[in-house]
Amino acid sequence: MTSARSGLPPLHLLLALGVTAVWGSNFVVIKYGVEHLPPLTLALLRFALAFFPLALFLPRPKVPWRNLTAYGVLIGAGQFGLLFTAMRADITPGLASLVVQAQAFFTIGLAVWLNGERPAAYQIAALLAASAGIVTIALHTDGSATPLGLILVLCAAASWAGGNMVNRAAGPVNMLAYVVWSSLFALPPLLGFALALEGWERMTAGIASADGKTWAAVLWQSIGNTMFGYGVWGWLLGRHAAGSVAPLSLLVPVFGLGTSALVLGEPLQPWKLTAFALVMAGLSIGVLWPRLAARLTI
């Protein structure tokens, strides 16, 4: 395994950048998907294709069924169900890619609550900076984000944080196999919520009206995000120190906001750039400060 200080070889760095680009640009892809498909129906199809056919080729991770179930429900119905619903009409892709990163701070909060961990001073500073960015977004009502959209994405971030805690409890696993098999347990709640909130007629009508761009968006969720994203990210983490790989995830909202601006013409007003800078400052402090402090003490 390469040390955290030695960085990644050029090819591996390109792969890591490719993953973050896929994960960031996916917010624009989601927007395309919900143009024809009801959001919960899109999420249902996304996790159905994430599970099958990959489950035929990847053995089930040796973790308790209850762990896979909890992760699938939190990530499937929680994170993506809420995120897709918000992105239908209540928040732009660029802002969604930024706000959902609050999962990092919800994860810290859950660790404090459940495990009795004490937040460090740098984590508190990171939280304050990111919170200022979220408040900046909430104070602007120009159509980029409604209060409902902001709440839904924050709830999605909290569900993602819960999934992080469940994944931590699972111990070292093949992350691609873990995501694939847990996707099975995302299907029942997503189907139930879709039937209750969208209805069978709307679900089938959305599927019938879906065009090639919509189906490409569905496949992007399973092939791009799951197969390529988690597969390559897990492969990189298996060959390099986490300190060399994990900080690159900070680029996800950069690609998210940038792709939305370039492809969808999402305006980048000064307030939005200010919010972006504050949230990114918080994330950067949270991710990079421990590594910087460790080097300064050497």
* Residue 251 to residue 249: CA distance in whole angstroms: 5
**What is the model's pLDDT at position 153?**
96
- Distance from chain centroid for Cα 128: 21
Residue 58 to residue 102: CA distance in whole angstroms:
31
Please report where in the chains the tokens 């969808």 appear, as a residue: 264
Domain boundaries, the chain: 10-296
Per-residue model confidence (pLDDT) at position 120: 86
pTM of the model: 0.90
* Cα dist from 21 to 10, 24, 27, 28, 108, whole Å: 16, 5, 11, 11, 25
Question: Which residue is it, tokens 């968006």?
Answer: 217
Question: Residue 28 to residues 63, 99, 125, 145, 173: CA-CA distances in angstroms?
Answer: 34, 15, 31, 15, 30
User: Most distant CA pair in the chain: distance in Å?
Assistant: 64
pLDDT, mean of residues 292-298: 68
Q: What is the pLDDT of residue 298?
A: 58
Q: Which residues contact 238 (CB under 8 A, 6 or more apart)?
A: none
Read off the tokens for 57: 């080729």
- How distant, in Å, are the alpha carbons of 212, 230, 232 from that of 225? 19, 7, 10
- pLDDT tens for each residue of 15-51: 999 999 999 999 999 999 999 999 999 999 999 999 9
pLDDT tens sequence across 41-96 = 999 999 999 999 899 999 999 999 999 999 999 999 999 999 999 999 999 999 99
Mean pLDDT, residues 95-113: 90
In degrees and rounded to multiples of 5, residue 2 shows phi and psi of: -70, 145
| Residue 91, φ and ψ in degrees, nearest 5 | -160, 145
Per-residue pLDDT at 59: 95
- How high is the pLDDT of residue 297? 67
Scanning the structure block, which residue is given the tokens 């959001």? 39
CA pair distance 99, 92, nearest whole angstrom? 11
DSSP β-bridge partners for residue 240 = 2
Residue with tokens 């660790």: 111
Q: CA 106 from chain center: how many Å?
A: 13
